[in-house]
Structure 1
Amino acid sequence: MTTVLVVDDQPLVRHAVADILSAHDDMEVVGLAENGQEAVDAAEALHPDVVVMDIRMPVLGGIGATERICAAPELRDTRVLILTTFEEDENLVAALRAGASGFVGKGAEPQEIVRAVRAIHAGDALLSPVATRALIDRFVSAPAPQRLPAPELDHLTEREREVLLMVAKGRSNQDIADELVISPHTAKTHVNRIMVKTHAHDRAQLVILAYESGLLVPGA
C-alpha cells in the first residue's frame, strides 16, 4: 500500500487528485493540505510514502516545503512528486535541488498521475519527456557557468562515475544493466552506492550533480 499526502491550494485540484489515487486498491490518501506549511506539518505527523506537491501556494511554497520534507531525517523514505504546469520550467531545477523526485502536469491523464506516484515510490526519478526537455534546455541555453566544486565525486570509483553519467542521461536501471552487461540488481546497487556517497536524495538530484559539476556537458 502506498500512502499519499496531496498538497494544493486549489480545493478542486486537491480533491480531484485525491479521488484519482483513492480509486486504486494499492493507494491510500492519508491527508490533504492547502499550503506548504500544512504539508510539512502533515508529512511529519503522517510519514506518507509520497507527497504530491503543488509549487505555487500561500504561506510556504512547494519548493520550500519540499526542501524541508526532504531534509528531515525522519522523512528519509518520503518522496515528493511535484504537481505543475510545465510553463513554470524555471522551477524545475530548484525543485530537483530541493529533493523532488519527479514532476507530473496538472493536465495529465489520471493514469499518468497514478503511474507517477507508483514510479517514485518504487525509487525511480520521474522526469516526463516535457519536463526533461525543459530541464536540459535550461542547462543548454544558460550561460556556461563555472563548474561547482563536487568533492563527493572523488569518492566514486570509475565504474560508479560511468553509472552516474548514465543516470544523468536518463537511463533506467535496466538500460544501465543492458549497456554494461550486468544484472539489474547490480545496476541498482551501483546507483544506491552513488547516492550514499554523494548525499543525493534520489536519482533526480544525481542529474543536477552531474551537470553542475561539469561531469556531464549538455550536447556532449
Structure 2
Amino acid sequence: MDAEDQRQIRVLLVDDEPLVRGGLAMLLGAEPGIVVTAEAGNGREGVAAARCGIADVVVMDLRMPVLDGVAATRELASDGFVPGNNALPVLVLTTFDGDEQLYAALRAGASGFLLKSAAPGSLAEAVRSLARGDGWLDPAVTRMLITQFAGRTPDVLPAPAELSRLTRREREILAIIATGLSNTEIAAALFLSEGTVKTHVGRIFAKLGLRDRAQAVAFAYESGLVRPRLGP
C-alpha cells in the first residue's frame, strides 16, 4: 500500500444539532481511511474551522443559525478558499420532504447531495467520492432538484455558446447525467464501455469548465439542453 492509499480523508462536520453530529462522527469514524477532524455548530464556525486546512471534505447541513449551509457552502466552494486548493468539496445533507434550499446549495457550489435517511454506508461512499474529485447525487435528491428546476427554468432558453463545444455524443451523455445516472449506468444504456463514458465525461467537464456532476446537472437544465419532466 503506497502513501496515497494510506492517507486518511479528513472530514469536517457542520450541523447545529449535537446528536446528529455525534451520530455522523460515529458512522464516519468506523470507516477505514476516514477521520473526523472537526465539528461545527453553524456555518460561520464551519467556515472558520475549514480555513485552518484541517479538512478534505465538508459535510454540511442546510438549515443552521448564524450562517446557513448555503452561504457557508458558497464560501467553502469558492476558488482559492484554502491556499493551494481551488475549493473544498461540500456534501450537503438534506431531508426527503423537499428542501427549498437544495437549488441554492447547488448554485452555491455543493459537490454532493445525500438524504439524511440514506443507508449509513452511503455517507462514507459519498465522502470518498468527493475526496476523489467526483460528485455525489442521491437519485431521490436528483428528482427533488428537477422539481425545483421546473419552477425556475423558463419555457424557452437559448442554448449557450458553450453547448456548441460539445459533440453530439457528449451532449447526449450530459443530458443523461442530468437524470442522475452513474457512469456505469450510462455505459449500459448507450452500449459503451465504462472507460469510454468516463473519457466523455472528463471532456464534457473540461470543455464547460465544470467541477463535478452536480454542476453538470445544473448546467444541463439551466442551458435548456434538457427540460424537467415531472409526473408519471
State TM-score, norm by structure 2: 0.82
The CA deviation at 1:148 is 6.2
Q: 2:139 — aligned with what? A: 129
Contact 2:159–2:224 under 8 Å retained in 1: no
RMSD of the alignment, in Å? 2.4
Give the residue type in structure 2 aligned to 1:71. Answer: S
Worse-matched range after superposition: 162-171 or 112-121: 112-121
The CA deviation at 1:182 is 3.7
Q: How many Å separate the matches in 1 of 2:177 and 2:138?
A: 15
2:86 is aligned with 1:79? no
More helix by share: 1
The CA deviation at 1:119 is 3.3
Give the residue type in structure 2 aligned to 1:15. Answer: G
Q: Return closer, same or farther for 1:75/1:85 CA change in 2, 3 Å cut-off.
A: farther
Q: 1:217 — aligned with what? A: 227
The CA deviation at 1:37 is 2.1
Contact 2:91–2:112 under 8 Å retained in 1: yes
Contact 2:139–2:180 under 8 Å retained in 1: no
2:51 is aligned with 1:44? yes
Q: Return closer, same or farther for 1:44/1:190 CA change in 2, 3 Å cut-off.
A: farther
Q: How many Å separate the matches in 2 of 1:69 and 1:21?
A: 21
The CA deviation at 1:88 is 4.5
Q: How many Å separate the matches in 1 of 2:29 and 2:43?
A: 22
The CA deviation at 1:104 is 2.2
2:216 is aligned with 1:206? yes
The CA deviation at 1:209 is 0.9
Q: 1:163 — aligned with what? A: 173
Contact 2:76–2:87 under 8 Å retained in 1: no
Q: Return closer, same or farther for 1:47/1:186 CA change in 2, 3 Å cut-off.
A: farther
The CA deviation at 1:207 is 0.8
SS in 2 for 1:14: helix
Structure 2: give runs of 5+ residues left out of the alignment.
Answer: 1-7
Q: 2:71 — aligned with what? A: 64
2:105 is aligned with 1:92? no
Q: Return closer, same or farther for 1:90/1:146 CA change in 2, 3 Å cut-off.
A: farther
Q: How many Å separate the matches in 2 of 1:196 and 1:98?
A: 20
The CA deviation at 1:81 is 0.8
Worse-matched range after superposition: 72-81 or 84-93: 72-81
Contact 1:89–1:131 under 8 Å retained in 2: no
Q: How many Å separate the matches in 2 of 1:68 and 1:143?
A: 25
Worse-matched range after superposition: 202-211 or 72-81: 72-81
SS in 2 for 1:52: strand
Which of the numbers 25, 29, 42 marks the counterpart of 1:22?
29
Contact 1:47–1:75 under 8 Å retained in 2: no
SS in 1 for 2:101: helix
Structure 1: give runs of 5+ residues left out of the alignment.
Answer: none
The CA deviation at 1:146 is 4.4
SS in 2 for 1:45: coil
State TM-score, norm by structure 1: 0.86
Number of residue pairs the alignment of both structures matches: 220
- Percent sequence identity is 48
